[in-house]
């Protein structure tokens, strides 16, 4: 079978979800012809740069505008206009991707971004492709921009997400609560002490992982200063080289500083709690690692909505000042029972088998092992 796993490189989560599915497909016993693709690679270099940089500009410089637009285009009354605009916009700007799909004629497409959903669905309506289209939604809430009438199956993060999709018009039999796909390495449980020793981190001290997102934004240094040695902190700066340079030069004695890492599973495994931006992939990975989370610097829209959904299950702490974040950390340090309860809530919402359950949708008869 000829299979495409496609994402768009606006934020790291869509790529990580796609990579998890791609690696899972390669491990299947059946032989398949599998391609992993950034849809933006089939557009012009200028459009790819604009698509990525405009998203970063909005979420980092004018997040209120992003949040306003995100909420506006999720209203039902505006959907006919949005659908028409997106079709015109995509037909002009991602024609290379459309041509590629028609040329390759994939049997099945797994999509981890909303843009390919619209493009492939339009081609299916015209009879230009016949690909089975499985969309893995990468947030805990679901925006109407993910919807397209050519999607055969949606995989969602939680029962709440599935219920939301049904409310906005998707047939229940076209939705599975499989979870957001995470790499199998997050399901492994290495020795915490050995990991800390290997990275030169104190084995005994309470450890907070601070994950800034791929763009490395947020009041990182202010939180570090407020913690003031109450515990040790591991900071992942992502692509923010200036942040990494600043923290390294100041040489905080209780802080270990890293840039963009490819072993986030190990960073989570050696930590007791995580302070993080509430992106869908970061949350899903932390849940699989049973790691309690404190959220900060949420992007209005998808990330604030993620927080809302998780609150329904008692997972995550949000809406705190810097002093409030430090107070919560100290509560966990002083109360092993509070820490255990937070760990159990994270474990209950985890979907460690998400990749296998999504790949079971490869064929129309595929089923998911939805948790009760």
CATH fold of the domain at 184-349: Rossmann fold (3.40.50)
The dotted CATH code for 2-182+353-362 is: 3.40.50.2000
- Roughly what angle, to the nearest 10 degrees, separates helices 336-349 and 280-288? 110
| Chain mean pLDDT for the chain | 92
Does the fold of domain 184-349 match that of domain 2-182+353-362? yes
Domain ranges of the chain: 2-182+353-362, 184-349
- Strands (E) in the chain, as ranges, are 2-7, 33-38, 108-111, 132-136, 153-155, 175-176, 207-211, 232-236, 255-258, 273-276, 293-295
127-150, pLDDT tens digit by residue?
A: 999 999 999 999 999 999 999 999
pLDDT at 199 over 50: yes
Q: Are 18 and 109 in contact (CB under 8 A)?
A: no
Residue 12: what pLDDT?
83
Q: How confident is the model at residue 365 (pLDDT cuts 50, 70, 90)?
A: low
Nearest to 32 by CA among 55, 14, 5, 52: 5
Residue 130, CA distances (Å) to 86, 153, 284 in order = 21, 14, 31
Residue 238: what pLDDT?
81
The torsion angle over the Cα atoms of residues 193, 198, 204 and 207, rounded to 10 degrees, is: -100
User: Which pTM does this prediction carry?
Assistant: 0.91
Mean pLDDT of 44-59: 90
Residue 368: what pLDDT?
40
286 CB-near residues (< 8 Å, 6+ apart) = 268, 274, 276, 293, 346
pLDDT at 155 over 90: yes
């Amino acid at each position: 079978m000829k299979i495409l796993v496609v994402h768009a490189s606006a934020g790291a989560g869509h790529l990580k979800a796609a990579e998890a599915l791609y690696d899972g497909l390669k491990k299947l016993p059946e032989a398949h012809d599998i391609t992993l693709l950034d849809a933006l690679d089939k557009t012009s270099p200028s459009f790819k740069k604009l698509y990525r940089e405009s998203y970063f500009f909005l979420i980092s410089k004018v997040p209120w505008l992003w949040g306003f637009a995100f909420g506006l285009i999720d209203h039902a009354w505006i959907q006919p206009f949005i659908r028409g605009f997106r079709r015109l916009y995509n037909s002009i700007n991602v024609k290379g991707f459309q041509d590629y799909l028609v040329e390759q004629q994939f049997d099945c497409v797994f999509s981890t971004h909303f843009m390919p959903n619209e493009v492939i669905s339009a081609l299916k309506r015209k009879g230009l492709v016949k690909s089975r289209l499985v969309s893995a939604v990468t947030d805990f809430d679901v925006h109407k921009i993910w919807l397209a009438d050519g999607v055969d199956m949606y995989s969602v993060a939680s029962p709440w997400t599935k219920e939301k999709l049904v409310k906005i018009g998707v047939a229940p039999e076209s939705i599975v609560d499989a979870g957001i796909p995470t790499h199998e390495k997050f399901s492994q449980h290495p020795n915490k002490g050995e990991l800390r020793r290997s990275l030169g981190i104190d084995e005994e001290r309470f450890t907070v992982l601070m994950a800034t997102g791929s763009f490395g934004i947020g009041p990182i240094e202010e939180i570090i200063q407020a913690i003031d040695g109450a515990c040790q902190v591991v900071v992942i700066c992502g692509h923010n080289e200036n942040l990494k340079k600043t923290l390294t030069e100041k040489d905080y004695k209780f802080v270990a500083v890293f840039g963009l890492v490819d072993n986030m599973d190990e960073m989570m495994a050696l930590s007791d709690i995580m302070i993080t931006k509430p992106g869908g992939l970061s949350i899903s990975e932390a849940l699989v690692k049973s790691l309690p989370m404190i959220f900060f610097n949420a992007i209005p829209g998808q990330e604030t909505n993620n927080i809302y959904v998780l609150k329904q299950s008692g997972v995550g702490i949000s809406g705190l000042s810097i002093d409030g974040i430090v107070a919560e950390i100290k509560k966990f340090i002083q109360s092993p029972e509070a820490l255990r309860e937070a760990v159990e809530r994270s474990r209950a919402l985890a979907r460690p088998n998400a990749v296998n359950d999504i790949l079971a949708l490869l064929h129309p008869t595929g089923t998911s092992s939805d948790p009760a």
